[in-house]
A = this chain, B = another copy of it.
Amino acid sequence: MSTSPSTVPPGPDAAGIGRRLRALREERGLSLSLVARRAGIGKATLSGLESGTRNPTLETLWAVTAQLGVPLTAVITGAGGGATVRGTAVAATLLEVFTEAGASYELYRMVVPPGTTQTSPAHHAGVTEHVTVFAGVLRAGPLDAPLVAAAGEHISWCSDVPHGYASIGADEVRATLLIRYPRG
């Protein structure tokens, strides 16, 4: 369309925001017209917003996300940085830390490029890892007894032994990784 994607003037990812908005709307089975009307904005505005051809004001974006029942941050994540840990294969972004009476938890967003493998030394006793795969196929777990999960599946293991992560097939693996550290 208008701008060649080669030289993107750095800025918020309007196209990505548009894609997320459209996905959220369609998940809910709502029409563009209906959402625009409920949000009190013009159809033209929402149309241009979803196609990524506008640079919305906060107020406009808020009206839409509120109508879809998601926080503003749900559509603009990916813009800006969080703490990202990079290994030989795995890139993990810390989303949140939960501290409970008996244990603490770290929740990561994880990406494993196709055809790559990474191994990790044993953690402390009792540490467990829980992975839910979004896309691709992941083999992970103890090196001597790995598990496999495809999109939509979940695996977990005790990581107090050497363990690893590997993508299987041609697709990048995307997943959440939850690590549980028992108190002590």
Contact = CB atoms under 8 A, between A and B. Distances in A.
Given A96-B109, A135-B100, A58 B14 contact: yes
B72 A12 contact: yes
Interface string A60-85: 01110110011111111101111101
Contacts of A128: 152
**For the complex formed by this chain, how many copies does it contain in all?**
2
B130 A97 contact: no
A104 B58 contact: no
B55 A74 contact: no
A27 interface: yes
Contacts of A119: none
B100 A80 contact: no
Contacts of A104: 23-24, 27
Interface in A18-70: 19-20, 23-24, 27, 55-59, 61-63, 65-66, 69-70
Nearest to A27: B181
A94 B65 CA distance: 12
Nearest to A10: B66
A134 B20 CA distance: 29
A163 interface: no
Given A72-B76, A72-B79, A76-B72, A11 B59 contact: yes
A8 interface: no
Contacts of A156: 154
A125 interface: no
A151 B100 contact: yes
Given A55-B59, A57-B57, 7 more contacts: A57-B58, A58-B61, A72-B80, A100-B135, A103-B152, A107-B107, A152-B180
